[in-house]
């Protein structure tokens, strides 16, 4: 928006002041050029994102099994959702994961970012090393490796046995699968870490110097300077990671073999949605679930933005 | 500026990340020209199975292409679950493969919506049916439409590992054993407290009530018809609860193979890692069991006798071959199907790994060495023929879903997160939606 404004203004400056018609024509040409440059993305967005989204909105109100034509059933899908015990289970699993996984991951990301920020040498190297898991973390192969590590007689089980824990594999134990997934998410702290690191670098050193003069210790500095100065970045990371955590799919699919087991303990919302759509062929129901997720995530985002003014501090802003 | 950027990035991310969708594209279909058997044609062909099956199919395909130089087969394969996801997506886009390995469970859904080619015009033309039993041809037809032809037949069997049983000091059952006798055998073998070489406890067997087909088999033994012609169920909540309760004493005492270990061994299982002494399954699993467990000595015997005193077994037509209704080359597809069904050499390549071949010529072509896997399976089907007295239950629409639901609930039952009554209630609620 800001960019277009400036471009238009420069265009206005070079144009002859009297000929407003010419100006208008030129502006039209610029708009067309703008759309032309936008076209590759816009076409993709319309055809691959907006179109299917609209289609799924329609399907959410139908009974559609992929084979025969969708049949309008109004709000029936949503009514069934309310009575579906698996829907409740999948919502529970996902909310627990978001509530536990997101803070743990952000704390890890911030901790590593602060350590790296202090490093004098090899910062680029360490940054890349710590970021690496995030590059490969969402992949199928890592989910397979994770499963192999946490399985019965796997490496984690064996290490545990050396310390006297006879817990068996985490993969087959319904109460241990959630910690396993939180660990997997935490391990991929790279993306928020890099953003935190950038945020940390922007905090003026004078603030720390001034506080040192006043005798503030590291803890005081962290809570009085680092956190408030970092709050916009924290807000951004929190929002992004929360949304991400509602969408965990691949790892759950691989580790549970696409079933959400054991005993429904890894039945993440998106996995259940997928099962309804592509295992049971109930596309209408799955679409309804997708739109419930859209609305919930939308509401969460709204809440985040509404409450942000109470805890997010923007430098240069009058308070 | 910073505030603006972060906020707008947040909004964009929220919007973009929430929804993703899959898209498929359908091929244009044009047909109507007269069939030219010499015209170059490429057929897509897909099946479910493991690497072993893929090797066998590739060998068969190479042979076919040698005989029919104008036809090229593009084969792909995937495991069972992924297979049906793929097919349903293709069906929605009317772009099913030309030829597919197919299963009874999904036949009704696909045929009701005209996704499968009616093969009747090609019977006796491209497809030679002279080697087929009439009942077997009939098993691939739904309401007069020949949607598939079975490659082979399967029936259920009890597999046991004689070495493990011997270690636990338990005798293999006699032929007329009942479900209760089977329970006792599992309990005794587990209670013997023996261990494998790796120090893992040996179990007598798994919880056999967790498989939907075993429930159907048990219903047939009880004289019930699982599915009526109108698509309704021939069994009640009480029937299902009664079957699940059969193994309740074993579950309560933790005498069956533990579910948490079983889950983590997938795709193997307690039986194939030689920690469980018995398993009921389809008889064509023998080849896989021998390969996975590394144990040559696996014995087969008929399943337990029902309360009526009969085993009331059935032959399930399996590994059907079907063609997508959208195929542009129905005649070539039929030619390939005929080859897989009738060519003796194909029978030799597959042995009994897909079940006992439906056609005698393929059965004869198998190299049956005394004591080999193929010989054992063929002998087994011949030996149990006297017990095979019932027709196979014809799956209703939505069978794939209700079978999968049964499996999921059985897992929860094994973890004791639901009771038998909850199992039955949840299953019937789900089944009502899936089969309507």
Query: Could you give the domains of chain B?
Result: 41-153+317-378 (3.40.190.10), 156-315+392-435 (3.40.190.10)
User: At B34, is the pLDDT very low, low, confident or very high (cuts 50, 70, 90)?
Assistant: low
Helix B51-67 to helix B330-342 angle (10° resolution) is 120
Residues in chain B within 8 Å Cβ distance of A244: 17
B364, pLDDT greater than 90: no
pLDDT at B391: 86
In chain B, which residue's Cα lies nearest the Cα of A308?
A: B7
Q: When comparing pLDDT for B113 and A59, which is higher?
A: A59
A18, pLDDT greater than 90: no
B22, pLDDT greater than 60: no
pLDDT at B19: 41
**Contact status of B92 with chain A (Cβ, < 8 Å):** yes
**Contact status of B434 with chain A (Cβ, < 8 Å):** yes
B10, pLDDT greater than 60: no
- Taking an 8 Å cut-off on Cβ atoms, the answer to whether A168 and B261 are in contact is yes
Residues in chain B within 8 Å Cβ distance of A247: 17-18
A177, pLDDT greater than 80: yes
Q: When comparing pLDDT for B116 and B8, which is higher?
A: B116
B7, pLDDT greater than 60: no
pLDDT at A317: 53
CA distance B416 to chain A (A): 9
* Residue A260: Cβ-neighbour burial (10 angstroms; 0-12, 13-18, 19+): buried
- Taking an 8 Å cut-off on Cβ atoms, the answer to whether A173 and B260 are in contact is yes
CA distance B218 to chain A (A): 25
User: At A85, is the pLDDT very low, low, confident or very high (cuts 50, 70, 90)?
Assistant: confident
pLDDT at B58: 95
Q: When comparing pLDDT for B81 and B25, which is higher?
A: B81
pLDDT at A143: 86
For A43-59, write each residue's pLDDT tens digit: 999 999 999 999 999 99
Residues in chain A within 8 Å Cβ distance of B7: 305
Q: Which of A53, A151, A317 sits opposite B264 (nearest CB)?
A: A151
| Ranges of H-type helices in chain A | 2-14, 20-44, 51-59, 76-83, 85-118, 123-137, 140-150, 155-162, 177-187, 190-202, 205-213, 218-221, 227-245, 250-255, 269-274, 283-311
Q: Which of A172, A278, A305 sits opposite B264 (nearest CB)?
A: A172
pLDDT at B33: 55
For B378-433, write each residue's pLDDT tens digit: 899 889 988 998 888 888 888 888 998 899 999 999 999 899 999 999 999 989 88
In chain B, which residue's Cα lies nearest the Cα of A47?
A: B23
Q: What percent of chain A has pLDDT above 90?
A: 50
* Mean pLDDT, residues B41-55 taken together: 91
User: At A165, is the pLDDT very low, low, confident or very high (cuts 50, 70, 90)?
Assistant: confident
- Best A146, A172, A235 member to test B by mutation, with max B CBs in 10 Å, is A172
* Mean pLDDT, residues B86-110 taken together: 89
CA distance B128 to chain A (A): 31
pLDDT at A314: 78
**Contact status of B78 with chain A (Cβ, < 8 Å):** no
For B237-257, write each residue's pLDDT tens digit: 999 999 999 999 999 999 999
Q: When comparing pLDDT for B180 and A319, which is higher?
A: B180
Residues in chain A within 8 Å Cβ distance of B259: 172, 262
Residues in chain A within 8 Å Cβ distance of B108: none
Residues in chain A within 8 Å Cβ distance of B424: none
pLDDT at B23: 34
pLDDT at A12: 44
Given the cut 0.90, state whether the ipTM is greater than it.
no
In chain A, which residue's Cα lies nearest the Cα of B21?
A: A52
For B294-319, write each residue's pLDDT tens digit: 888 899 999 999 998 999 999 999 99
* Mean pLDDT, residues B343-371 taken together: 88
B140, pLDDT greater than 70: yes
B321, pLDDT greater than 60: yes
Which of B:253-272 have CB within 8 Å of A? 259-266
A5, pLDDT greater than 50: no
User: At A19, is the pLDDT very low, low, confident or very high (cuts 50, 70, 90)?
Assistant: low
The domain locations on chain A are 2-59, 77-311
- Taking an 8 Å cut-off on Cβ atoms, the answer to whether A67 and B112 are in contact is yes
Tell which residue, A251, A243, A254, has the closest CA to residue A294: A243
B25, pLDDT greater than 60: no
CA pair distance A304, A301, nearest whole angstrom: 5
- Taking an 8 Å cut-off on Cβ atoms, the answer to whether B81 and A279 are in contact is yes
- Best A279, A282, A286, A300 member to test B by mutation, with max B CBs in 10 Å, is A279
User: At B37, is the pLDDT very low, low, confident or very high (cuts 50, 70, 90)?
Assistant: confident
- Taking an 8 Å cut-off on Cβ atoms, the answer to whether A52 and B21 are in contact is yes
- Taking an 8 Å cut-off on Cβ atoms, the answer to whether A294 and B19 are in contact is yes
Residues in chain B within 8 Å Cβ distance of A49: 16, 19-21
Which of B:93-112 have CB within 8 Å of A? 109-110, 112
**Contact status of B5 with chain A (Cβ, < 8 Å):** no
Q: How far is CA A185 from CA A104, A105, A136, A188, B308, in A?
A: 9, 7, 12, 5, 55
pLDDT at A319: 43
Residues in chain A within 8 Å Cβ distance of B263: 171-172, 261-262
pLDDT at B31: 44
Q: What percent of chain B has pLDDT above 70?
A: 92
- Taking an 8 Å cut-off on Cβ atoms, the answer to whether A171 and B19 are in contact is no
Residue B104 in contact with residue B394, Cβ under 8 Å?
yes
Residue A101 makes CB contacts below 8 A (sequence gap 6+) with: A181, A182, A185, A186, A245
Residues in chain A within 8 Å Cβ distance of B433: 80, 282
Residues in chain A within 8 Å Cβ distance of B91: 66-67
**Contact status of B197 with chain A (Cβ, < 8 Å):** no
**Contact status of B34 with chain A (Cβ, < 8 Å):** no
Q: Can you give the pTM of this predicted structure?
A: 0.79
**Contact status of B62 with chain A (Cβ, < 8 Å):** no
B20, pLDDT greater than 90: no
Q: How far is CA A239 from CA A102, A178, A189, B329, in A?
A: 10, 21, 14, 53
* Mean pLDDT, residues A99-113 taken together: 94
**Contact status of B234 with chain A (Cβ, < 8 Å):** no
* CATH class in words for A77-311: mainly alpha
User: At A62, is the pLDDT very low, low, confident or very high (cuts 50, 70, 90)?
Assistant: very high
Q: Which of B91, B264, B426 sits opposite A152 (nearest CB)?
A: B264
- Taking an 8 Å cut-off on Cβ atoms, the answer to whether A232 and B6 are in contact is yes
* Mean pLDDT, residues A189-194 taken together: 90
Which of B:366-425 have CB within 8 Å of A? 401, 404, 408, 411-412, 415, 417
DSSP summary character for residue A62 = E
CA pair distance B380, B357, nearest whole angstrom: 14
């Amino acid at each position: 928006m800001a960019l277009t404004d400036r471009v238009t203004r420069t265009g206005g400056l070079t144009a002859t002041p009297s000929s407003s018609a010419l100006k208008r024509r030129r502006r039209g040409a610029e708009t067309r050029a703008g759309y032309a440059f936008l076209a590759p993305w816009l076409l993709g967005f319309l055809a691959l994102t907006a179109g299917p989204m609209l289609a799924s909105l329609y399907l959410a109100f139908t009974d559609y099994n992929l084979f025969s034509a969708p049949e309008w059933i109004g709000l029936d899908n949503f009514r069934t959702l309310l009575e579906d015990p698996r829907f409740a289970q999948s919502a529970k699993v996902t909310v627990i994961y978001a509530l536990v996984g997101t803070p743990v991951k952000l704390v890890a990301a911030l901790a590593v970012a602060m350590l790296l920020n202090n490093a004098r040498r090899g910062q680029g190297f360490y940054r890349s090393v710590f970021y690496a898991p995030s590059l490969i973390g969402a992949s199928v192969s890592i989910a397979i490796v994770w499963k192999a590590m946490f399985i019965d007689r796997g490496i984690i089980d064996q290490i545990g046995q050396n310390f006297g824990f006879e817990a068996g594999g985490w993969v087959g134990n319904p109460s241990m699968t959630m910690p396993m997934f939180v660990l997997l998410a935490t391990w991929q702290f790279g993306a928020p870490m890099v953003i935190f690191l950038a945020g940390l670098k922007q905090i003026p050193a004078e603030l720390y110097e001034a506080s040192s003069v006043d005798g503030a210790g590291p803890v005081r500095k962290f809570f009085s300077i680092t956190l408030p100065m970092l709050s916009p970045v924290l807000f951004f990371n929190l929002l992004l990671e929360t949304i991400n955590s509602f969408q965990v799919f691949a790892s759950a699919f691989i580790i549970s073999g696409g079933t959400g087991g054991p005993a429904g303990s890894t039945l993440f919302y998106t996995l259940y949605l997928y099962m309804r759509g592509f295992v049971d062929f109930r596309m209408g129901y799955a679409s309804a679930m997708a739109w419930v997720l859209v609305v919930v995530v939308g509401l969460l985002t709204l809440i985040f933005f509404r409450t942000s003014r109470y805890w997010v501090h923007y430098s240069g802003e009058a308070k | 500026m910073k505030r603006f950027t972060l906020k707008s990035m947040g909004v964009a991310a929220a919007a973009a990340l929430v929804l993703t969708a899959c898209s498929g594209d359908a091929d244009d279909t044009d047909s109507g020209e007269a069939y030219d058997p010499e015209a170059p044609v490429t057929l897509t062909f897909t099946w479910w199975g493991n690497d072993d099956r893929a090797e066998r199919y590739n060998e068969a395909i190479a042979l076919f292409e040698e005989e029919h130089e104008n036809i090229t087969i593009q084969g792909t394969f995937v495991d069972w679950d992924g297979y049906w996801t793929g097919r349903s997506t293709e069906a929605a886009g009317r772009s099913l493969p030309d030829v597919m390995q197919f299963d009874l469970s999904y036949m009704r859904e696909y045929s009701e919506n005209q996704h499968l080619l009616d093969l009747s015009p090609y019977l006796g033309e491209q497809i030679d049916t002279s080697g087929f039993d009439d009942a077997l041809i009939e098993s691939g037809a739904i309401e007069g439409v020949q949607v598939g032809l079975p490659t082979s037949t399967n029936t259920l069997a009890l597999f046991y590992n004689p070495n493990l049983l011997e270690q636990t000091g338990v005798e293999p059952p006699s032929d007329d054993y009942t479900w209760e006798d089977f329970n006792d055998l599992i309990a005794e073998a587990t209670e013997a407290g023996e261990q494998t070489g790796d120090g893992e406890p040996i179990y007598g067997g798994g919880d056999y009530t967790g498989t939907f087909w075993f429930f159907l088999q048990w219903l047939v033994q009880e004289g019930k018809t699982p599915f009526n012609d109108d698509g309704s169920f021939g069994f009640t909540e009480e029937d299902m609860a009664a079957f699940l309760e059969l193994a309740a004493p074993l579950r309560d005492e933790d005498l069956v193979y533990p579910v948490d270990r079983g889950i983590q061994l997938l795709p193997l299982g307690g039986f194939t890692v030689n920690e469980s002494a018995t398993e009921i399954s389809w008889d064509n699993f023998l080849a896989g069991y021998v390969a996975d467990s590394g144990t040559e000595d696996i014995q087969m015997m008929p399943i337990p006798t029902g309360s009526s005193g009969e085993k009331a077994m059935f032959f399930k037509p399996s590994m059907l071959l079907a063609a997508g209704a959208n195929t542009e080359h129905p005649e070539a597809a039929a030619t390939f199907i005929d080859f897989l069904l009738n060519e003796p050499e194909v029978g030799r390549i597959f042995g009994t790994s897909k079940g006992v071949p439906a056609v005698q010529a393929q059965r004869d072509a198998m190299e049956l060495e005394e004591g080999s896997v193929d010989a054992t399976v063929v002998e087994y089907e011949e030996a149990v023929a006297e017990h095979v007295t019932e027709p196979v239950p014809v799956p209703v629409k939505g069978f794939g879903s209700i079978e999968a639901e049964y499996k999921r609930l059985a897992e929860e039952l094994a973890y004791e997160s639901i009771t038998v009554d909850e199992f039955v209630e949840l299953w019937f609620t789900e089944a009502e939606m899936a089969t309507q």
